[in-house]
Structure 1
Amino acid sequence: MPATPDMQKTIALVVRPNTSGIDVPVRQLVDYLQHAGYRVVLEAGTAEHLAVDGIEAMSAADLGAAAYAVVVMGGDGTMLGIARQLAPYNVPLIGINLGRLGFMTDIPVERMIPALADILGGKARADKRTLLEGCVKRGGETIHCGLAVNDVVVARGAGAGMVELKVTVDGNFMYNQRSDGLIIATPTGSTAYALSAGGPLLHPSLQGVVLVPIAPHALSNRPIVVPDSSSITVEIVAGRDISVNFDMQTFASLMHGDQIVISRSPYNMTFLHPEGWTYYDTLREKLHWNEYPAGDSRPK
């Protein structure tokens, strides 16, 4: 939707709760944006835990309709939560890192003012990402649906034995898998749980979805990347205490015969980065690809 003049003046702020010392950088950010002529609003949950006088609070739905951009101060978990809520509105997101890793909230807090000045001044790199949506079907009826920025994970409960899953792609039988579970991840999620389970990195521009088994019984059961136009169905064949997780949102009590049908969401999300940002810079910084053993003379 084209931005109206009013929307171009509105910047929304989402801040991770219970963050020590956050008041000072938030005040600095609000002061900068207001002095630059922007209207600043707070996401409703942020307003509940953050005391900033004279700033209007809005629900996520209202933010999506009103904001030109949303600045997220926190870690990747904070970004995941708000990104799912704002996905239908196609409002761009700018991430200020207050977490430990920060694949999505990539701007260091000490550089937030100059970075924002560049981004809001038009010196920005837009980074569009796909999402997944999944629905749990039982007896032919849909009983739950969820949206995922990173991944959809079907997994056994703590202390339970292996699960058996039947996986089909576009109606074609792929395999029956015995494992601790299965991760179905976007390119964004390929650097998260899927990576720790042995999956590949997918560049964000790739139109793919990666399926990564968690501790499979058969060592020949390897990760596979399928087109993101695929419809993936995961059926619960055997096991107990099985749940499906859409990023951080869990639906428990899956039963034998339940099917989780996963496909690309019609929504996208857009991150705004400072001009000159590249995905490879993020990989080097976050995964420490540029580090060598002590005494190694190669350039860092």
Structure 2
Amino acid sequence: MTRRILVVVNPHRTETVEAGEVVARVLAAEGVETCFSYDPGVSEPIEAAIVLGGDGTMLHAAEVTHGSHIPLLGVNLGRVGFLAELEREDVTQAAVRLAAGDYHVEERRTLEVCVINPDGTRHGGWALNEATLERGNLRSTLEVAVEVDGRPLSTFGCDGVIVSTATGSTAHAFSAGGPVLWPNVDALLFVPLAAHALFARPLVVGPDSFFAVEVLERSESPGQVILDGSRSIDVPLGGRLEVRRAEATVLLARMNDEPFTERLVNKFSLPTNGWRGERPSRATTRLAAGS
């Protein structure tokens, strides 16, 4: 059977396109066929995907392959690249190790999103990072009522709210002042955006809980839900947004065993001067990563 690996690049950046060509040549030398597009139900079986770009490209790859159980290996050619496993200098190594099956798979939880209109019609979606309820008119304020598990919690005016997974806690929610959740924390995070209220703090709930946000009739503007920064659903006045944990997961291919703490320090360039604990040498870390 022909082995196939999907290559996902940001077509608007020359660097990622050129990296895709390098990956294709390396995979061909390893006897693996490369494809640059994926159509569920039509494409031949694909065993894994290598994603060249930043977090936006990773989210796009997750959207394209949603429901396929294809592991995604991210190589960061962007800025922070929190979802990426390797950096730009590792492109060739990534292709060789992916072809050899030298990786393990990590599951990441996703969100199930439902917008219920006043007439009862429903529109659904999903997200890996977050669902963000935003103002439909930037000159106005959203008036919202917030529920947890079907019970009212508070009402306030705001610019919007974010509901994120642990994976998304280092993205938009982090920028809005939310806490960082380690990826193995099975929880949902709620972060208000510029809320006009004394009690409007980030909330973390367990995996069986759900958030609901109603856009009140007295709101100055309808809203819209943005899923992972790219897909949107309109929420009219009187509409209701429900967000809960989805059963579907996204698979990430991992090639090293560095703890999340180390990733956090590296991605945000956090100062650790003065730490007196035992730090493994770079050579030991490389050896553990299989390089």
Instruction: Quickly name the TM-score band, shorter chain normalised.
Output: 0.7 to 0.9
Higher mean displacement: 207-216 or 14-23: 14-23
Higher mean displacement: 150-159 or 89-98: 150-159
Cα deviation, residue 119, structure 1: 4.4
Query: In the alignment, which of 142, 146, 151 is matched to residue 163 of structure 1?
Result: 142
Alpha-carbon distance in 2 for matches of 1:227, 1:84: 25
Aligned to 2:166: 187
**Relative to 1, partners in 2 of residues 1:116 and 1:273: Cα closer, same or farther, differing over 3 Å?**
farther
**Relative to 1, partners in 2 of residues 1:195 and 1:38: Cα closer, same or farther, differing over 3 Å?**
same
What is the Cα-based RMSD across aligned positions, in Å? 2.3
- Note if contact 2:23-2:95 (Cα within 8 Å) is conserved in structure 1: no
Alpha-carbon distance in 2 for matches of 1:22, 1:223: 36
Aligned to 2:232: 250
Gaps spanning 5+ residues in structure 2: where?
Answer: 280-291
Alpha-carbon distance in 1 for matches of 2:244, 2:124: 11
Query: In the alignment, which of 64, 83, 96 is matched to residue 117 of structure 1?
Result: 96
Give yes or no for the alignment of 1:76 onto 2:55. Answer: yes
- Note if contact 1:93-1:270 (Cα within 8 Å) is conserved in structure 2: yes
Give yes or no for the alignment of 1:284 onto 2:265. Answer: yes
How do 1:217-256 and structure 2 match up within 5 A? 217-237=196-216, 238-247=219-228, 248-252=230-234, 254-256=235-237
Q: What is the total number of aligned residue pairs between the two structures?
A: 275
How do 1:64-143 and structure 2 match up within 5 A? 66-139=45-118, 141-143=120-122
Query: Structure 1: which amino acid aligns with 2:5?
Result: I
CA displacement 1:20-72 (0-9 Å, x = unmatched): 244432222111111111121111xxxxxxxxxxxxxx425545x61100111
Helix, strand or coil at the partner of 2:61: helix
Helix, strand or coil at the partner of 1:66: coil
- Note if contact 2:73-2:254 (Cα within 8 Å) is conserved in structure 1: yes
Query: In the alignment, which of 14, 18, 24 is matched to residue 20 of structure 1?
Result: 14
Cα deviation, residue 106, structure 1: 3.4
Alpha-carbon distance in 2 for matches of 1:62, 1:105: 27
Alpha-carbon distance in 2 for matches of 1:166, 1:208: 21
Helix, strand or coil at the partner of 2:66: helix
**Relative to 1, partners in 2 of residues 1:62 and 1:69: Cα closer, same or farther, differing over 3 Å?**
farther
Helix, strand or coil at the partner of 1:87: coil
Aligned to 2:33: 39
**Relative to 1, partners in 2 of residues 1:143 and 1:160: Cα closer, same or farther, differing over 3 Å?**
farther
- Note if contact 1:181-1:214 (Cα within 8 Å) is conserved in structure 2: yes
Alpha-carbon distance in 1 for matches of 2:26, 2:200: 53
Alpha-carbon distance in 2 for matches of 1:276, 1:123: 13
Higher mean displacement: 115-124 or 70-79: 115-124
Aligned to 2:186: 207
Alpha-carbon distance in 2 for matches of 1:77, 1:62: 25
Q: Provide TM-score, normalisation by structure 1.
A: 0.84
- Note if contact 1:183-1:211 (Cα within 8 Å) is conserved in structure 2: yes
Alpha-carbon distance in 2 for matches of 1:219, 1:287: 30
Aligned to 1:59: 39
Alpha-carbon distance in 1 for matches of 2:98, 2:158: 45
Percent identity of paired positions between Structure 1 and Structure 2? 30
Alpha-carbon distance in 2 for matches of 1:15, 1:213: 33
Q: Provide TM-score, normalisation by structure 2.
A: 0.86
